[in-house]
Chain A
């Protein structure tokens, strides 16, 4: 157990729908990062939050949004889902900002859009 908790583990939904993925960081970690791992793109950085504030954005679609709550858990919202959104979505956390503080990844949420 890495200490980073992601729910749900699996999600199957139809095109056009909206889903919310949840991440609880390791105790004491203030940064949360979201990554997408798809069949043809590998692991891609989506967005980072630090202590409730958005700090960096990567290749995140406008249909996707995220937030970090006062208790530091984070949610990734995916809307108007398309078949190509099917992927593994990972959350990682760290004490500070950036990989040099030591990322810890969760086990991911596998999203299947049908």
Chain B
């Protein structure tokens, strides 16, 4: 599919398996984090968010884990489906930045049949 041509880290998983996508964020002052999914030809789509006063948040088939000590986020997708194939970005923001988003470089997830 169309990524943006970046040489992205890639993750290939079998359909039905769980996926874990990792992200290291840069600013220790960041207090709000979002995971986005970007499919070919589309803009980033919100998946799940988490604030810095939490270390785990669950959605439908997705879980985000936040480790502020090592500035690390992960996105877990349960029972990965072909429709989950996309580029996944983490993004961070903090109050002092007027809450603008700083995006990570992204991970290309490919779900194998």
Contact residues of A with B, CB < 8 Å? 2, 4, 33, 37-40, 42-45, 48, 55-56, 58, 88, 90, 92, 97-100, 102-108
Cβ of A100 and Cβ of B4 under 8 Å apart? no
Query: Which one of B5, B6, B101 lies within 8 Å of A45 (CB-CB)?
Result: B101
Most chain A CB neighbours (cut-off 10 Å) among B44, B91, B103 = B44
Cβ of B4 and Cβ of A37 under 8 Å apart? yes
CA distance A106 to B42 in the complex (A): 8
Q: Is B98 an interface residue (CB 8 A)?
A: yes
Query: Which one of A40, A56, A99 lies within 8 Å of B6 (CB-CB)?
Result: A40
Give the total of B residues in contact with A, Cβ under 8 Å. Answer: 26
Which residues of chain A are within 8 angstroms of B74 by Cβ–Cβ distance? none
Query: Which one of B4, B42, B100 lies within 8 Å of A98 (CB-CB)?
Result: B100
Whether A98 contacts B6 in the complex (CB less than 8 A), given A2-B43, A45-B101, A58-B100, comes out as no
B46 to chain A, nearest CB (A): 7
Contact residues of B with A, CB < 8 Å? 4-6, 32, 34, 36, 41-46, 49, 89, 91, 93, 97-106
CA distance A58 to B99 in the complex (A): 12
Cβ of B43 and Cβ of A42 under 8 Å apart? no
Query: Which one of B6, B42, B104 lies within 8 Å of A39 (CB-CB)?
Result: B6
Interchain Cβ contacts under 8 Å between A and B, 7 examples: A39-B6, A42-B103, A42-B105, A43-B89, A43-B103, A103-B101, A105-B44
Which residues of chain B are within 8 angstroms of A45 by Cβ–Cβ distance? 100-102
CA distance A3 to B46 in the complex (A): 14
Which residues of chain B are within 8 angstroms of A43 by Cβ–Cβ distance? 44, 89, 91, 101, 103
Cβ of A99 and Cβ of B101 under 8 Å apart? yes
Whether A42 contacts B104 in the complex (CB less than 8 A), given A55-B98, A100-B32, comes out as yes
